[in-house]
């Protein structure tokens, strides 16, 4: 039986092409029908969600017995922002999550329901939080530390994200339930244009250099791009990260690998795919390249980052 009597619903109203706010109002009514208090907060601008959490967090940590809970309603970018807002200072505060985005890969990765009604029940039925791995990536030049719940990528991975975020057809395809088509079209268009770049990888005590790195993705769980199982061995419960490095290959080889991702999942066995499984990774790309984390652009610049995992608390019953 849950100990939670008061819920703070934080919603990205634009998530899922407008589904987020509708789901939030339904969730509020559902909690209130259960005799619970429910407060609704709408994120109005970039960074607003962070400000809301930083206002709520100090009052939540003062409670001797936890009876309040933050419930994030949105997509992968929204839950990622919430984790970053809590940071290290408020890492003991659990988050609940009702997915309302177009991709919802985080929910897939932790076996959390992508159905809002079922997600509500998973939250209400929970009596304690679960520990889930999230990625910690540190800029080795500045010391700045940030978090990702799904993945961090360089090269083609990030260029695809940039095009998807800027796509004029994204809203229409999302409403029609064809979100993956946006990713597929971006993959095809950027394969030709994407330039290779030099990369150094440090993993498991060894360093390897690539002169023509093309796609680089560090994964916390198997999924990317609305259910594409790019890293089938990854787990958000292992305390380790999966890294895939693909150098520039021919169009036919890329197409073959792409088909393997969607069919057998044996693309990791291909000689052109370099696969790492490690508790700690260091990626160094000294020439400018596109970067992304959790579907959000992090710039076109040189990167020198160290990546590990840390545990964060999420409130749901599996």
CATH of the domain at 149: 2.60.200.40
Task: Let me know whether 103 and 207 are in one domain.
Answer: no
- Contact criterion met (CB below 8 Å) for 146 and 290: no
Q: Is residue 162 part of a domain?
A: yes
pLDDT value of residue 1: 63
At residue 11, the pLDDT reads 96
Q: 267-302: b or e for each residue (b if 16 or more CB lie within 10 Å)?
A: bbeeebbbebebeebbbbbeeebbbbbbbbebeeee
Which of the two residues, 238 and 225, has the higher pLDDT score?
238
Per-residue pLDDT tens for 127-179?
A: 999 999 999 999 999 999 999 999 999 999 888 887 766 655 444 445 445 45
Q: Residue 256: is its pLDDT beyond 50?
A: yes
Tens of pLDDT, residue by residue over 267-317, are 999 999 999 999 999 999 999 999 999 988 999 999 999 999 999 999 998
Q: Domain with 22 in it: what CATH number?
A: 3.40.50.10330
Are 98 and 190 contained in the same domain?
no
Interatomic CA distance for residues 222 and 108, integer angstroms: 9
111 and 144 in one domain? no
Q: Would you say residue 1 lies in a domain?
A: no
Query: How many domains does the chain fold into?
Result: 2
Find the helix packing angle between 76-86 and 48-61, rounded to 10°.
50
Alpha carbons 281 and 234: distance in angstroms, whole number: 14
pLDDT band at 217 (very low <50, low <70, confident <90, very high): very high
**Claim to verify: residue 60 and residue 111 sit in the same structural domain:** yes
Are residues 158 and 288 located together in one domain of the fold?
yes
pLDDT tens, residue by residue, 82-130: 999 999 999 999 999 999 887 789 999 998 999 999 999 999 999 999 9
Residue 29 lies in a domain: yes
Instruction: Answer whether residue 26 shows pLDDT above 80.
Output: yes
Pair 234, 175 in one domain: yes
DSSP codes, 109-154:
HTT--SSHHHHHHHHHH-SS-EEEEEEEEEETTT--EEEESSEEEE
Residue 317 domain-assigned?
A: no
Which residue range(s) make up the domain with 163? 136-312
| pLDDT, position 200 | 98
User: What's the pLDDT at 244?
Assistant: 97
End position of a domain, from candidates 99, 128, 157 = 128
pLDDT at 190 over 70: no
181 pLDDT band, cuts 50/70/90, is low
- The most confident of the ranges 111-115, 187-191, 193-197, 278-282 is 278-282
Q: Using the 3D structure, point to which of 128, 163, 191 is the last residue of a domain.
A: 128
> How confident is the model over 53-92, as pLDDT tens digits?
999 999 887 655 579 999 999 999 999 999 999 999 999 9
What pLDDT score was predicted for residue 178? 47
Question: Where a domain ends, among 128, 152, 182?
Answer: 128
Instruction: Report in angstroms the alpha-carbon separations of 94 from 27, 112, 207.
Output: 18, 15, 36
Cβ contacts of 188 within 8 Å, gap of 6 or more = none
Contact 102, 78 (CB under 8 A): no
Position 66 scores a pLDDT of 77
Judge if 47 and 68 occupy the same domain.
Answer: yes
Pairing of β 281-293 and β 296-314: antiparallel
């Amino acid at each position: 039986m849950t100990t939670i009597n008061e819920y703070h619903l934080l919603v990205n109203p634009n998530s899922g092409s407008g589904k987020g706010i509708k789901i939030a109002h339904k969730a509020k009514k559902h909690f209130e029908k259960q005799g619970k208090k429910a407060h609704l907060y709408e994120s109005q601008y970039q960074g607003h969600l962070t400000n809301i959490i930083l206002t709520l967090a100090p009052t939540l940590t003062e409670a001797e017995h936890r009876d309040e809970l933050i419930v994030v309603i949105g997509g992968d970018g929204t839950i990622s922002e919430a984790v970053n807002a809590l940071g290290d200072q408020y890492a003991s505060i659990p988050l609940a999550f009702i997915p309302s985005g177009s991709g919802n890969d985080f929910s897939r990765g932790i076996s959390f329901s992508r159905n809002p009604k079922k997600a509500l029940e998973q939250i209400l039925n929970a009596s304690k939080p679960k520990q889930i791995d999230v990625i910690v990536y540190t800029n080795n030049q500045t010391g700045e530390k940030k978090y990702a719940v799904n993945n961090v990528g360089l090269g083609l991975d990030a260029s695809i994200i940039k095009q998807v975020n800027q796509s004029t057809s994204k809203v229409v395809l999302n409403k029609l339930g064809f979100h993956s088509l946006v990713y597929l079209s971006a993959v095809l268009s950027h394969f030709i244009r994407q330039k290779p770049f030099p990369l150094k990888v440090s993993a498991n005590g060894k360093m390897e250099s690539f002169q023509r790195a093309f796609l680089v993705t560090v994964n916390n769980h198997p999924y990317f791009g609305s259910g594409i199982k790019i890293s089938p061995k990854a787990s958000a419960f292992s305390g380790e990260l999966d890294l895939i490095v693909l150098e520039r290959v021919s169009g036919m080889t890329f197409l073959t690998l792409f088909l393997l991702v969607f069919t057998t999942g044996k693309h990791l066995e291909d000689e052109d795919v370099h696969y790492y499984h490690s508790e700690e990774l260091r990626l160094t790309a000294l020439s400018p390249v596109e970067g992304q984390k959790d579907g959000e652009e992090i710039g076109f610049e040189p990167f020198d980052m160290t990546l590990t995992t840390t545990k964060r608390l999420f409130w749901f019953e599996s």
